Amino acid sequence: MKTTIIRMDNENIDHKALEAAGKVIRSGGLVAFPTETVYGLGGDALNPEASGKIYAAKGRPSDNPLIVHICRVEDLFKVAGDVNEAAVKLAEKYWPGPLTMIFKKKDIVPFKTTGGLDTVAVRMPDNGIAAGFIKASGGFIAAPSANLSGRPSPTDADHVIKDLDGRIDMIIDGGPCIIGLESTIVDMTGSVPMILRPGYITGDMIKAVTGSVEYDPAVISDVPEDIRPKAPGMKYRHYAPKGELVIVRGGRDEVRSYICAGIDEDLKSGRRSAVLSADETKDDYKVAALVISVGARDDEDMIARHLYAALRRCDDENIEAIYSEDFSTPRIGQAIMNRLIKAAGHRIVEV
Ligand code: AMP
Ligand code: MG
């Protein structure tokens, strides 16, 4: 299949091109599009065949549900049942934005879109291109992240092209994503909102609106198999680079000694290694062939924005061993570390 690539930016939206993209969706095709979190791989959420194509293009297990993206808050009520007051308040406060809410699904949403579940995940992205594209497509776009299953999520159109060129109809290149981590997922079907996947919208931000919040235990656990996550996608290997990633936690000197000793060993055995560091510590690892700084320690937005591109760069450079510092920053550190720990297959060394 030939993949058409169209380019635009949020200050200069090409509505005619978005109409063409909408036409692709209406005829059952697939279009990758930018959002503020990561790039999504979109199909018509109300067309089971389109959802089937999304799973096939990504190589995604069919029990891993898709998120339904909307561009008008009122459209929520067409796909979701039992929308409670807390959800309405959260939508008022954080939509459009990086918050996905789970509700009882309405019949109009095919089971193919929800991975067989009777619930539906809904989000309204905060990105003008995404909003225009969803509107031109009829209002309901099913989309997971636009990467091959298991790979780090795409935060730039180049990442999408690398994974999906030739497998989908169209890619809208809208430049790099501002946030760089997937949305927060909150289950709204119980009496208290429950966070299934941490993201830019934190538990405190949700609690400030609803008065209470709970966490799926799998969100805070470092241990892989003991707890089964409620968001089906969280049980699969995710966000993973090809090289073996290990997170090294501890004081600066101890982390430096451990990583530099590891790199020495790698050099002796001919393994190509890399380090993910903060700006402040990037010169600690001079022995490494590749040191990627993801940002200053006090700029956690920057760290989040650069994380996936850093993991993908390791793949591009055929890196076999990756050592990462810990990025447990105050606000979105939980989301950053949730992704990094999964990418590391839960390999964490305390020094
Ligand atoms: P992705 O953003 O590519 O990881 O895909 C969407 C994520 O949303 C997956 O991790 C899904 O498990 C999660 N998700 C979508 N629908 C539901 C749902 N009804 N219940 C729980 N999690 C969901
Ligand atoms: Mg994904």
Ordered by where they begin, the domains of the chain are: 4-219 (3.90.870.10), 244-350 (3.40.50.11030)
The answer, yes or no, to whether any atom of ligand 1 lies below 6 A from the CB of 40, is no
Give the span between the Cα atoms of 3 and 157, in whole angstroms: 13
* Closest CA to ligand 1's atom 9: 233
Q: How far is the CA of 102 from the centre of ligand 1 (A)?
A: 9
pLDDT digits (tens, 9 = 90+) for 123-175: 999 999 999 999 999 999 999 999 999 899 999 999 999 999 999 999 999 99
Phi-psi map region of 278: left, alpha, beta (phi>0 left; psi -120 to 50 alpha): beta
Average pLDDT, the chain: 94
Q: Does the pLDDT of residue 187 top 80, yes or no?
A: yes
Averaged over 234-241, what is the pLDDT?
70
Q: Does the pLDDT of residue 228 top 70, yes or no?
A: no
Q: Decide if 184 contacts 198 (C-beta within 8 A).
A: yes
Contacts of 155 (CB under 8 A, 6+ apart): 38, 39, 176, 177, 180, 305, 308, 309
Averaged over 40-54, what is the pLDDT?
98
Describe the crossing of helices 300-316 and 333-343 by its angle, rounded to 10 degrees: 20
Q: pLDDT > 90: what percent of the chain?
A: 89
Q: How far is the CA of 204 from the centre of ligand 2 (A)?
A: 24
Predicted local confidence at residue 98, as pLDDT = 98
Q: Decide if 298 contacts 278 (C-beta within 8 A).
A: no
The answer, yes or no, to whether any atom of ligand 1 lies below 6 A from the CB of 144, is yes
Q: How far is the CA of 282 from the centre of ligand 1 (A)?
A: 35
Q: Decide if 185 contacts 343 (C-beta within 8 A).
A: no
Whole-model pTM? 0.95
Q: Which ligand is nearest to the CA of 197?
A: 1
Strand partners, 292: 276
Q: How far is CA 217 from the centre of its chain?
A: 20
What tokens appear for 7 in the block? 């380019």
Averaged over 261-278, what is the pLDDT?
96
Q: Decide if 79 contacts 106 (C-beta within 8 A).
A: yes
